[in-house]
Amino acid sequence: MCTTHRPHLEKDGDLSSKDIPPLVVKICTSRKYYKTGWEAYNYEEMETLQGSVIPRYYGHFMAVVEPGNSVKVWTIEKRRRQELDHEIPHSEVYESDDEDHIDYPRVVTILLLERYTPNPLQLPPKLVHTIREDAMLMFAEIAAVGIQHNDIHMHLNNVVQANETYLPTLSSPKYNKKFQWRIIDFGLAQKSEHTYKELMFLYEEKSEEPRWNP
């Protein structure tokens, strides 16, 4: 399981002289430790889009958890899995029983990104239309660097509001446009052998937009 947090850092000690930007911290448990690493790789591949189309990426870190110690998100994951096992017929639980017998590395991984603001669940129709129009341009920016997202929701839940309280939005490389949104969740993304037009066809299908030719 991976969880996303918006920490409030108190400057103290060695941090008193540091200018720390507002952050989003994505934490993965030992079962999903590889996910943040893959997402970090994708953010590095899209370095030219950071601050304009995707959040700025500040690093990926891993720590070994010594025996006898634990991490809070591990406890949350265990409780969540127990609830799933109770509520859903065993054959329908999305993860295999065999995983319970796998000896996962005792590590915790975190991904640091610049802070963004999730969209409210209910958006005015006019704003939804604006987001969708901008999102197609942003997906075109991502397609131009050869990345296939692979996790686009039809309601564009992976398109969030930019937070400009610390650093300003940059102009995007392809369209030279300053977007007020950011695309997130690249844990399933990959470098693609598809052409730009093929990638745009996939993005249009997933976002349920009419065929669009930039």
Q: What's phi and psi for 149, nearest 5 deg?
A: -70, -50
* 124 C-beta neighbours (distance < 10 Å), count: 9
- The reported pLDDT for the residue numbered 207 is 67
Token couple for 71: 């991490």
Which one of 122-126, 163-167, 172-176 scores highest in mean pLDDT? 172-176
Query: Is 3 a residue whose pLDDT tops 70?
Result: no
Residue 159: name the closest of 128, 132, 182, 137 by CA. 182
Residue with tokens 């969708």: 132
Q: Which helix or strand (DSSP H or E) is residue 173 part of?
A: none
Query: Is 97 a residue whose pLDDT tops 50?
Result: no
CA dist 212 → 66, 147, 198, 202, 207 (Å): 52, 18, 12, 11, 11
pLDDT per residue over 38-72, tens digit each?
999 999 999 999 999 999 999 999 888 888 777 77
